[in-house]
Amino acid sequence: MRDYAWFVIILGLFAAMLFAADNNAGSAFPTWYDDGTLIAQREGGNFISGSGITVTGVDDPANSQVDITIATTGLTPSRFGEMDDNSNTDPFVINATTDIHSYHSNALHDGALNEWDFDAGGAGASVAVASVANAGGGQVLVTTGGAHNLVVGAIVSITDTTSYNAVYIVDTVPLGTTFTVTAAWLGDEAGTMDEAATLTAGVGAAGTYILLWSASATPATLNETFDYYIYNGETQQIRISSRRKFGGVGDFGSMGGSGFLTVAPGDKLSFALANTDSGGDLTIRHFDFNLHQI
């Protein structure tokens, strides 16, 4: 967006030069204009560098001309990230009413990326939580019923428990079937873990962005209401939440949201949802999640 603005400025500068030359016919001195407004008739012109623009000139006697170079400086290319899914037919499994589930699917993939990285997360497969133990230091140790394939910093949701239903950042991964998160230990429980598909900000991605997401989906059961959320790490971005109520089974509905957010390098953004009426699943047919630096 900013690169385009500088291109327009430079293009206008060249247009002014050409306009001056064209209006010089039959005149003792060139006629100089500023965007069509007469400045003066003068023998020479002086191009002055400004903020973000440098102008240099070199005499070229061999060609009886002065070579002028106009360059932009200090500009940062726009950063952006995207993940999307098209024509998905696999239901996303909802484990419990009102619990927030981090979203992923087996066909969700990266889109346009500049200084952002995509990770598919659970890629459509939830993992059973077999037990929760006290890890000390304000952490709990979660043991899964199978390999969890997590790494430190992954975003996960734990659902279908009594005490641990939330979105977390993975703190440590002691084993392929254990991981720790920051939470108060309130007893041993079982449930389900979903690893979110994420977009991660690169080292040069810091800044303010506009985030837009859209989806179309169909419920597995009648009269279901779903809430949709955006997370930065384990923090819900309240301003970008949305709700959609569906009618009958097979009813396709569209939903979306948008908002501004500020990110730092390493931040992970993800999408999540909850069924506020039952444990009925939702098939998200088409999905696009993108953000653009402003």
CATH number of residue 129's parent domain: 2.40.30.20
CA 224 vs. chain centroid, Å, equals 28
Q: Which of 88, 158, 153 is nearest to 123 (CA)?
A: 88
What integer is the mean pLDDT of 184-196?
98
Residues 105 and 246 in one domain: yes
Q: Are residues 100 and 227 in the same domain?
A: yes
Which residues span the domain enclosing 38? 2-72
pLDDT value at residue 76: 66
What is the structure's pLDDT at 62?
Answer: 86
Share above pLDDT 70 across residues of the chain, in percent, rounded to a whole number: 89
Whichever domain contains 92, its CATH number is 2.60.120.40
Average pLDDT over the chain reads 89
Contact status, residue 2 vs residue 79, Cβ threshold 8 Å? no
User: 194 vs 14, which has greater pLDDT?
Assistant: 194
pLDDT (average), residues 258-274: 97
- Rounded percentage of the chain residues whose pLDDT exceeds 90: 71
Is residue 260 within 8 Å of 208, Cβ to Cβ? yes
Domains: count for the chain: 3
Within this chain, do residues 34 and 112 fall inside the same structural domain, yes or no?
no
Instruction: Compute the distance between CA of residue 109 and CA of residue 54 in angstroms, rounded to an integer.
Output: 41
Same domain for 45 and 101, yes or no, is no
Amino acid 89: pLDDT: 95
DSSP state of 48: -
User: Are 157 and 204 found together in one domain?
Assistant: no
β partners of residue 178: 143, 175
Pick from 28-32, 148-152, 191-195, 219-223: least confident: 28-32
Closest CA to 130 of 158, 106, 157, 103: 158
| One domain, residues 213 and 241 | yes
Q: How many CB atoms lie within 10 A of CB 220?
A: 19
- The domain boundary, picked from 137, 169, 194, lies at 194
| Judgement on whether residues 160 and 177 belong to the same structural domain of the protein | yes
Two structure tokens written together for 55: 């102008």
Cβ atoms < 10 Å from Cβ of 181: 23
CA 32 vs. chain centroid, Å, equals 46
What does the pLDDT look like over 113-132, one tens digit per residue? 999 999 999 999 999 999 99
